[in-house]
């Protein structure tokens, strides 16, 4: 669960733990993250979506501790500043894209090897990434059965098909 230290991610994690699932949350701040994880009864990894090294380290921790990942919940994200158009700069928008778009792709890409080790892997997102809305900038989980095949599988649609859209 990315962004599991507070907000929606924390509540989703709480309910998954309550349902008996093994949950790992991530947070940028290790102090906050560990506290939240202890509260939840979840595992914790430090991760900043916009930092390659921290994402790779989180993958290594999960690889060593669990060995596979059944579900990646891409929850973490930022709203960005809500300002009048006159005050909105390219840098403000770039930071939102760095997190919500490129960060999400970075995290998903890095965790794919662990997801591939699960029996029925899945990637879900609870923010501005929708598979059914063409106005959204990124499509996650939308599949083209004629094209998206699991590697090494003769014809089975790939459950992790992931395709950026513009």
Ligand X SMILES: NC(=O)c1ccc[n+]([C@@H]2O[C@H](COP(=O)([O-])OP(=O)(O)OC[C@H]3O[C@@H](n4cnc5c(N)ncnc54)[C@H](OP(=O)(O)O)[C@@H]3O)[C@@H](O)[C@H]2O)c1
Residues that bind ligand X (CB under 6 A): 2-3, 5-9, 27-29, 47-50, 75-79, 99, 103, 126-127
- Beta carbon of residue 147, minimum distance to ligand X (angstroms, whole number): 28
3-class DSSP state of 24? strand
Count of alpha carbons within 13 Å of 65, Cβ hemisphere only? 14
Nearer residue to ligand X within complex by CB, 15 or 144: 15
Nearer residue to ligand X within complex by CB, 31 or 67: 31
Residue 156 CA, chain-centre distance (Å), reads: 24
Residue reference for tokens 């930071």? 95
- Beta carbon of residue 128, minimum distance to ligand X (angstroms, whole number): 6
Nearer residue to ligand X within complex by CB, 5 or 139: 5
- Beta carbon of residue 150, minimum distance to ligand X (angstroms, whole number): 28
Distance CA 122, CA 157 (A): 13
CA angle in degrees (0–180, nearest 5) for 2-108-9: 15
């Amino acid at each position: 669960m990315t962004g599991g230290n507070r907000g929606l991610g924390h509540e989703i994690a709480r309910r998954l733990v309550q349902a008996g699932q093994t949950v790992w949350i991530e947070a940028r701040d290790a102090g906050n993250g560990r506290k939240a994880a202890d509260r939840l009864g979840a595992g914790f990894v430090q991760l900043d979506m916009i930092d390659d090294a921290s994402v790779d380290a989180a993958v290594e921790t999960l690889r060593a501790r669990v060995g596979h990942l059944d579900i990646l919940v891409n929850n973490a994200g930022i709203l960005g500043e809500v300002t009048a158009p006159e005050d909105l700069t390219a840098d403000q928008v770039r930071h939102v894209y760095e997190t919500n778009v490129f960060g999400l792709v970075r995290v998903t890409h890095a965790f794919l090897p662990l997801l591939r080790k699960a029996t029925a892997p899945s990637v879900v997102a609870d923010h501005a990434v929708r598979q059914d809305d063409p106005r959204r900038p990124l499509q996650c989980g939308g599949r083209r059965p004629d094209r998206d095949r699991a590697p090494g599988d003769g014809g089975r649609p790939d459950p992790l098909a992931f395709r950026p859209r513009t």
